[in-house]
Amino acid sequence: MGRSAHLCLCLLRGTSYSARPASNPFAAIPMSTPRRRPLALPIVLCSTLWALHVTALADPPADTHAGLLKTVRGEVLLQDAQGASAPARVGDAVNAQQRIVTGAQSGASVVLRDGTTLVIGPQSSFDLQAFRYDSRTHDGSVIGRLARGTLRMVTGLIGKAAPEAVRIDTPTTTIGIRGTDFIVSADETL
């Protein structure tokens, strides 16, 4: 039994707590005669410690990115919502409201946190407009827009649990996901 558990047990029983001497951990520890103490303070103390412990375990830090770039070939740029762009590298975080732009004979693949895989072909522009995912309940949504080029998408946990929560827009149509793997092409000129 750990010291904190022993302390809580002693507080609940109303007995004294004493740590074992460092020189002989197996020596008998004289305990004082049990006394009756009011239980309100020990119960509140133990309850507070337990609540803090459970809260720390239940609320892991939230992931701030939607996914990661898995592969990058050729000229690939990541653009933020303000239009600033930077060359993309394998392992870069991809966030909602970012655009992935590929040059000629270039391409990239992105794996989102729910396992969705996006493969963006050459001469493409793809906006990840919205991404929301709760890893505990597998609830969320993926909304993207392919302005030009080609995109292959293999849906992850969101698409499998709630296909209606996955949507890809193009300049001429909106694709509602009903399967798990599809390819779409969009051309800027009409």
User: How far is residue 89 from each of residues 50, 76, 78, 120, measured CA to CA in Å?
Assistant: 44, 8, 9, 14
User: How far is residue 10 from each of residues 21, 22, 93, 172, measured CA to CA in Å?
Assistant: 18, 20, 49, 71
Q: What average pLDDT is seen over the chain? A: 77
pLDDT at residue 59, as a whole number: 42
Q: What percent of the chain has pLDDT over 90?
A: 47
Helix axes 40-58, 3-13, angle to 10 degrees: 150
Residue 85 has pLDDT above 70, yes or no: yes
pLDDT at residue 184, as a whole number: 72
Query: What distance in Å separates the CA atoms of residue 103 and residue 93, rounded to the nearest whole number?
Result: 20
* Stretch 87-95: mean pLDDT: 96
Question: Domain extents for the chain?
Answer: 3-58, 67-186
pLDDT at residue 11, as a whole number: 45
* Stretch 26-35: mean pLDDT: 53
Residue 5 has pLDDT above 80, yes or no: no
Instruction: Return the higher-pLDDT residue of 46 and 86.
Output: 86
Model confidence at 185, pLDDT cuts 50, 70, 90, reads: confident
Residues 168, 153 contacting (CB under 8 angstroms): yes
Model confidence at 190, pLDDT cuts 50, 70, 90, reads: very low
Q: Is the pTM of this model over 0.85?
A: no
Q: Is 32 helix (H, G, I), strand (E, B) or coil?
A: coil
